[in-house]
Structure 1
Amino acid sequence: MHRHQPPSHRFPVRVYYEDTDAAGVVYYANYLKFCERARTEWLRALGFEQQTLREERSLVFVVRTVEAEYLKSGVLDDALTVETSVAEIGRSRLVFAQSVMRGSERLFDCRVGVVCVDWNKRKPASVPPDIRALMTSHHETHSESHR
């Protein structure tokens, strides 16, 4: 589906009973929830809280596109890791490459297109320079290491 880049961020997830479906495997939509949490925690690790960005800068990041591939099933009590990296950075758009791993085994891959939005105007806004600088440094570092 996409070239895997070294992750900028790793987020651990434990599979609980509530995450599984009638067949006892991780319900398909929950992989997207795991990835959402990982992107939020990655932004927090960079020093930006989503609530603070909305309150102080009127900025939110909204999902516009998702391309997902389900490879293997996670099950109850699995210790998973969501690996997140920046695949593309535009003026107001970011594309994240994310994988859900069980050890070295890849269960799920996705590319998530996110748009930076001025919450008051409800229109796309440029990614702020301070956030762009941190994301760009991660993006360039990982892109170069894969050449």
Structure 2
Amino acid sequence: MTLTALKPQAQPAHRFPIRVYYEDTDAGGIVYYANYLKFAERARTEMLREAGFHHTAMMQGEGIVLAVRRCAAEYMKPAKLDDMLDVETQVTGLGAATIDLDQSIRRGPDELCRVTVTIACVGRDGRPVRLPAPLRHVLSTDTSDKK
């Protein structure tokens, strides 16, 4: 058996709405590039929360945190003040201690930014640890009927 990342079964993308506020923009009313990463982080956090995995509980209970290991962003079109955006998050792979995700930030049908991210599960000592089995299960199976 090779140590390649497992591909999760197809599941619907998680969607998280975000309104662009004045604080998110530069002087021209355009979303500052780093804020797209904040939008993506919020969407990942809410995806996990809706699946029953709260960051605080994981830290206090299992003594683990999920930290960004790798991130890449591609910017296609600008978001602007007062825009209503949707962040779509899709799990694309699972490693022993990692989660790979694709995230798309959209305004209606237009894709504005695409983020690919690898999240690492780390223990209190900062070293990688295996993803908890319940989290792995939720991320690797179709959860569309579990609401």
Contact 2:25–2:32 (8 Å) recurs in 1: yes
Normalised by the length of structure 2, the TM-score is 0.87
Give per-residue Cα distances to partners, 1:20-46, cap 9 Å, x unaligned.
012210000000000000000000000
Residue 43 in structure 1 maps to residue 48 in structure 2: yes
Question: Percent identity over the alignment?
Answer: 45
Which residues of 2 match residues 70-89 of structure 1 at below 5 A?
A: 70-89=75-94
Name the structure 2 match of 1:144: none
Q: Measure, in 1, the Cα distance between the counterparts of 2:58 and 2:117.
A: 20
Name the structure 1 match of 2:7: none
Which residues of 2 match residues 5-44 of structure 1 at below 5 A?
A: 7-44=12-49
Q: Measure, in 1, the Cα distance between the counterparts of 2:100 and 2:69.
A: 10
Residue 127 in structure 1 maps to residue 131 in structure 2: yes
Structure 2 spans left out of the alignment, 5+ residues: 1-9
Structure number having the greater helix percentage: 1
Contact 1:8–1:138 (8 Å) recurs in 2: no
Give per-residue Cα distances to partners, 1:90-138, cap 9 Å, x unaligned.
000111100001011100001011100012x211000011000010014
DSSP 3-state at the match of 1:28: coil
DSSP 3-state at the match of 1:41: helix
Q: Which among 97, 118, 121 is matched to residue 92 of structure 1?
A: 97
Contact 2:11–2:142 (8 Å) recurs in 1: no
Q: Which among 65, 68, 73 is matched to residue 60 of structure 1?
A: 65
Q: In structure 2, do the counterparts of structure 1 residues 134 and 6 end up closer, same or farther at CA, with 3 Å as the change threshold?
A: closer
Contact 1:84–1:96 (8 Å) recurs in 2: yes
The number of aligned residues is: 135
Paired residue type of 1:127? L
1:85 Cα deviation (Å)?
Answer: 0.7
* Larger relative contact order, structure 1 or 2 (CA cutoff 8 Å, min sep 6): 2
